[in-house]
Amino acid sequence: MSPAKSTSATARSVTTAHSVVEPSSRSKRIAATLVIVYAVVTMIPLVWIFLTSIKSPPDSISYPPKILFTPSIEGYCNLFTTRTRQTPEYIASLPEPEGVCDAVTRERNMVIAGPSNFLPRFANSLIIAFGSTFLAVGLGTLAAYGFSRFKVPLADDLLFFILSTRMMPPIAVAIPIYLMYRQLGLSDTALGMMLLYTAVNVSLAVWLLKGFIDEIPREYEEAAMIDGYSRLQAFRKVVLPQATTGIAATAIFCLIFAWNEYAFASLLTSGSAQTAPPFIPTIIGEGGQDWPAVAAGTTIFLVPILVFTILLRKQLLRGITFGAVRK
């Protein structure tokens, strides 16, 4: 921050009209406009999904689409419950509704039959995505450190080979994996999905992290080893703290992949290990075109990534302090 400020200050004092160092205020304005336009364009679908999630089902399919409407919690109620249709007489005979959702459901001549599968599916997604991210980043960091610091025979070929696991589209390898998983009893298990996502992500993690670790001078570890630490201790106390930026960035990429993955999940999971992405579209089939429920599921689905990214923002933006080594 401060170097940028001082540069602009000097630049301005030297030349008031045009500066070679600083972009002109006009091009800055153009850049800002482009960024805002791009942000709006990408945000519109998200905003629309959120708005749909708080519409009532009739409002959600009205044409022309409603911009102004009375917010309704029905989508969220439908997302978390299963309902059965009843006669108005039966509903009238019931005692007072317990809670908002009960009341909203009864207005549609239905009663809540029980919780939906959304929460367990969402939990599957959390376990599988965070678990595989943890494994991929952990293994990736160790492998990247190895590739970066030791003479690994055929290192270049190995790195290429690792990357090649990502060259085929998932659908091309899905059938062999499906057959393999059936043999191994890994079909429709959280462990199976975690291993699969780890395998896919570890290649990305190794490549990304190798770049970050290559940037950390070896002298740090050597200094630590001379100071009396073992290589593993030096790795933990000196390399890891300096690789946090890289690790955070890698973790976010891995998490986003594992969280959003649809193809493998829909082919390999159907029951107990199903993740949220293949589950959310199935909501639509339960009792009419329930767009608010789908939108509610999608909105909730976005939250963990958002929170994770915001939590790691500091690490991502901090940048690596090379100050102590470089002149």
Partner 1 sequence: MAEIRVAHLRKAFGAFVAVQDSSFTVADGEFLALLGPSGCGKTTTLRMIAGLELPTGGTIRLGGEDVTYKRASERDIAFVFQLFALYPHMNVRRNIGFPLLAQGVPRAEIRKRVEETARLLQIDHILDRPVSGLAGGDRQRVALGRAIVRRPMCFLMDEPLGTLDAEFREVMVRELRELHNRIRATTVYVTHDQIEAMAMADKIAVMNHGIIEQFGTPQEIYDRPASMYVADFIGSPPMNFIRFTAGLPKGARAARIGAAEVEMPEIRADVAPGELALGVRPEHVRFAEASPLRGAIYGSEYLGTNQIVTVETEGGLVRARLPADHSYAIGEPVGLTFKSERLSLFEARSGRAIPSALHEGALDREVRHG
Contact residues toward partner 1 (CB under 8 A) are 217, 219-220, 222-230, 233, 238, 241-242, 321-327
Identify the CA nearest to 129 among candidates 272, 279, 253: 253
Cα distance between residue 245 and residue 319, in whole Å? 7
DSSP classification of residue 172: H
| Minimum distance of partner 1 from residue 217's CB (angstroms) | 7
Tokens of 38: 């791009």
68 vs 324, beta carbon nearer partner 1: 324
| Minimum distance of partner 1 from residue 228's CB (angstroms) | 3
Q: Which region holds residue 188: left if phi is over 0, alpha if psi is between -120 and 50, else beta?
A: left
| Minimum distance of partner 1 from residue 210's CB (angstroms) | 20
| Minimum distance of partner 1 from residue 319's CB (angstroms) | 11
126 vs 240, beta carbon nearer partner 1: 240
Q: What is the dihedral of CA 246, 248, 252, 258, to 10 degrees?
A: 90
Cα distance between residue 128 and residue 135, in whole Å? 10
| Minimum distance of partner 1 from residue 148's CB (angstroms) | 16
Sequence-ordered alpha helix ranges (H) in the chain: 2-14, 25-53, 57-60, 74-80, 88-93, 99-107, 118-149, 155-164, 170-184, 190-214, 219-226, 231-234, 240-260, 263-268, 276-279, 291-318
| Minimum distance of partner 1 from residue 136's CB (angstroms) | 24
12 vs 218, beta carbon nearer partner 1: 218
* Cβ(165)–Cβ(200) below 8 Å: yes
| Minimum distance of partner 1 from residue 254's CB (angstroms) | 24
| Minimum distance of partner 1 from residue 146's CB (angstroms) | 18
73 vs 316, beta carbon nearer partner 1: 316
134 vs 229, beta carbon nearer partner 1: 229
CA distances from 307 to 155, 172, 291, 294, 322 (A): 37, 33, 25, 21, 29
Bond into 64 cis (ω within 30):
yes
Residue type, 148: S
Cα distance between residue 327 and residue 169, in whole Å? 46
Residue type, 275: T
208 vs 243, beta carbon nearer partner 1: 243
144 vs 243, beta carbon nearer partner 1: 243
227 vs 286, beta carbon nearer partner 1: 227
